[in-house]
Amino acid sequence: MRVAKLLLFACFSLFISFPVQAKIILVPGDFSTMQGGVDVSPGSDQSGPAGTDVQVEFYITNEGIGADTFDLDISDSLGWTIVPTYYEVPLDSGGVDTVSFTVSIPYVPIGIVDKLTLTAVSQADSAVTDTAYLMVTCNAHLEAVQVTAGENVSGLAICGIGWYVGFTGTIENTGAVVDSYYLGAESIKGWYIPWPQYRETLVPGGWQPRYFEIWIPCVPVGTVDSVNIYAVSRTNPHVYDCDTLTVTCDGYWEDLDLLAGYDVSGLSNSQVNARFYVQNNRPAADYCSLTISDSLGWDIQPMYYKFRLNTGQQDSVLFDVTIPDVPVGTANRITLHSVSLSNPFVIDSASLLVTCESHVVTMTDISDIGDDQGKQVQIDWSSFPGSDPLITDFTIFRRIDPLLLASSDIDPQKSVFGSDPPGSWEIIATYPASGETVYSATVATLKDSTIVEGIYWSAFFIRAETDTPTIYFDSPIDSGYSVDNLSPSPPTNLLARHKPAVTELTWMKCMDIDFDYYTLYRDSTSEFEPSPDNRLEYVTDSVFIDSTAQLGKEYYYLVSATDFSGNESDPSNEAMGIRYIMGDANASGETDIVDIVYMVNYLFRSGSPPTPLESCDVNCDAEATISDAVYLINYLFKSGPAPCE
């Protein structure tokens, strides 16, 4: 454009010099536009903290052929405050001027960038314009704050009245200027905080602890609320911090305690009294409701109580329980439930047993005998001796069930007088009566329960004998099972021997009669602990060939024995073995010329030793020498004998 203007100016001068001879033809267009020109260049991009001013510069050059005055307008992309917003700059042709502006960086997040654009327009010709822009960045905040929550707290919930738990938060001004803050606490679950916010003004480095309180509402024990303690700068809302603590409901101000009286018993079609005790443990009076339930649906009266208890007061409640016509020994669990009427989460319950006591003898437990080889259980029974008839002996019967067909689903039916309960039974023990109410005996089962075959139940009943053979009393049928609790002996004399390309493991056989299988373990570390992670294999023979170990690497082995009940023995002695191929000096898995080179480097050039060294002794003379390398050459290239094993 400037060249075109100069050519036009030269033609115009020529026309002035030779008015007669020259004939000038003007091309239609705006002649004045071709004379003007302006260039706007930006200075450096600027940055600064929020809340401060920075200076920016632009450079204006008159590129026209004559003096001109330019209007300068500045704008930005984010609406920040810029002073001034307008310049009027007169410039001679080729003149250069610098204009500067003050930009106020507002309180914005760090990293926010504002784009400033300067537009220059010629007053002589509005078509002559130019623009340039630069960037102003918020790179810091002079304000900074840190909040630290105190320790987690817990307290009691009280329904109907306010009860507060206190906690503390600390605010610190970590910025470079004096600042004011809103310090507050907010509950995530909406628990009530009566004074949720403070205003604090702190100098740089200043700090202030503040105490808050929160009301724990009626919630289940163990309910946790998270409380955020936060601080926000009143000067710069982008400066904030937050920390969290927890508030836990660990109990209730209300507390009702239920206690059951003694278990009771009676004859069928009779009525007995079940007694319970309820106590108010809170420091104020409370109303409670009591409801009763049972496991068998017997008739109980009343079904519901409601009454008021003063602080520390205890009261008793009675229920009439009707025992229906049920088998002897039938026990019904009676459960009383209490609920505070002021706090539905304050509950308690207590239970007792009401038993139909029409049998003289009842089995109370059948349990396995621990630390034995199995096939034994302990039977406990109770007896209610009467003056007539007098019990002289207790005979224990065991049902003759086909193996694997017994079940725990025993029908507790009573025998018909003068006959055994249904099924085939055999007498296994008789014990004299001694006038006690509790007895115990160890008896044999038919078969042990095992992991493989599952639970095998043995069924029993006990007969209370009298001096008159035709007068006796049978207990209900019950069942139990026995297990082998003892582990077999650990295997001994574990040895690891090298075989061609494998490691052979051998050990002494387990002689326990209930032995089932061995478990092999392998690890790369000596004195390791057996675990599923290093378990290698299950076997039943006392010999195992390991062909999966890494060549040339030392491995350590253990073996244990397990019986049919799943009891695993302690591990055997530890054995170490290395799997290798004779002649495979570099443990590559094959024998080739590379192994010859490897052996020569080891023997004469201080190279790495073979892994293991035994793999180099291909002629089996118990030494690794040059003769082994020659031996291997003959084998590989002259049809010589194969490496020995």
- What confidence score (pLDDT) does residue 642 get? 87
pLDDT band at 6 (very low <50, low <70, confident <90, very high): very low
- What confidence score (pLDDT) does residue 512 get? 83
Determine the angle formed by the axes of helices 626-637 and 593-604, rounding to 10 degrees: 170
Nearest alpha carbon to residue 294 among 328, 260, 270: 260
pLDDT band at 149 (very low <50, low <70, confident <90, very high): very high
Q: Which residue did the predictor score with more confidence, 514 or 546?
A: 546
CA distance 312 to 283: 7
- What confidence score (pLDDT) does residue 419 get? 59
- What confidence score (pLDDT) does residue 342 get? 78
Bridge-based pairing state of the strands 502-506 and 113-122: unpaired
In percent, the amount of the chain with pLDDT more than 70 equals 88
pLDDT band at 25 (very low <50, low <70, confident <90, very high): very low
Bridge-based pairing state of the strands 535-539 and 515-523: antiparallel
For residue 349, is pLDDT > 50?
yes
Burial (CB count <10 Å: 0-12, 13-18, 19+), residue 219: middle
Q: What is the token pair recorded at 70? A: 């330019």
**The residue to which tokens 């010859």 are assigned:** 596
Give the pLDDT mean for 70-98. 96
Most confident of 58-62, 441-445, 638-642: 58-62
pLDDT in tens, 260-312: 888 988 766 678 899 999 988 877 778 888 999 999 999 999 988 887 888 88
For residue 358, is pLDDT > 90?
no
- What confidence score (pLDDT) does residue 300 get? 94
For residue 584, is pLDDT > 90?
no
CA distance 457 to 450: 11
Give the pLDDT mean for 343-362. 80
Which helix (H) or strand (E) is 4 found in, with range?
helix 2-17
For residue 29, is pLDDT > 70?
no
Residue 204 vs residues 53, 142, 168, 425: alpha-carbon distances, Å: 21, 10, 21, 93
Give the pLDDT mean for 89-104. 96
- What confidence score (pLDDT) does residue 416 get? 42
Nearest alpha carbon to residue 168 among 105, 243, 104: 243
Most confident of 192-196, 205-209, 352-356, 459-463: 205-209
Buried b vs exposed e over 104-133: b needs ≥16 C-beta within 10 Å?
ebebbeeebebebbbbbbbebbeebebebb
- Range from 78-82, 154-158, 237-241, 289-293 carrying the lowest mean pLDDT: 154-158
CA distance 2 to 33: 11
Most confident of 123-137, 346-360, 442-456, 596-610: 123-137
Q: Which residue did the predictor score with more confidence, 92 or 306?
A: 92
For residue 15, is pLDDT > 70?
no
pLDDT band at 468 (very low <50, low <70, confident <90, very high): confident
**Residue 535: alpha-carbon gap to chain centroid:** 27
**The residue to which tokens 């001694």 are assigned:** 434
**Mean model confidence pLDDT for the chain:** 84
pLDDT in tens, 590-630: 888 888 888 888 888 888 888 788 888 888 888 888 888 88
pLDDT band at 410 (very low <50, low <70, confident <90, very high): very low
pLDDT in tens, 156-202: 887 766 568 999 999 999 999 999 999 999 999 999 998 899 999 99
DSSP string, 121-141: EESS-TT-EEEEEEEEEEEEE
- What confidence score (pLDDT) does residue 412 get? 44
CA distance 645 to 634: 17
Give the pLDDT mean for 315-339. 85
For residue 3, is pLDDT > 50?
no
pLDDT band at 356 (very low <50, low <70, confident <90, very high): confident
- What confidence score (pLDDT) does residue 415 get? 44
- What confidence score (pLDDT) does residue 414 get? 43
Per-residue DSSP letter, 524: S
- What confidence score (pLDDT) does residue 325 get? 63
pLDDT band at 472 (very low <50, low <70, confident <90, very high): confident
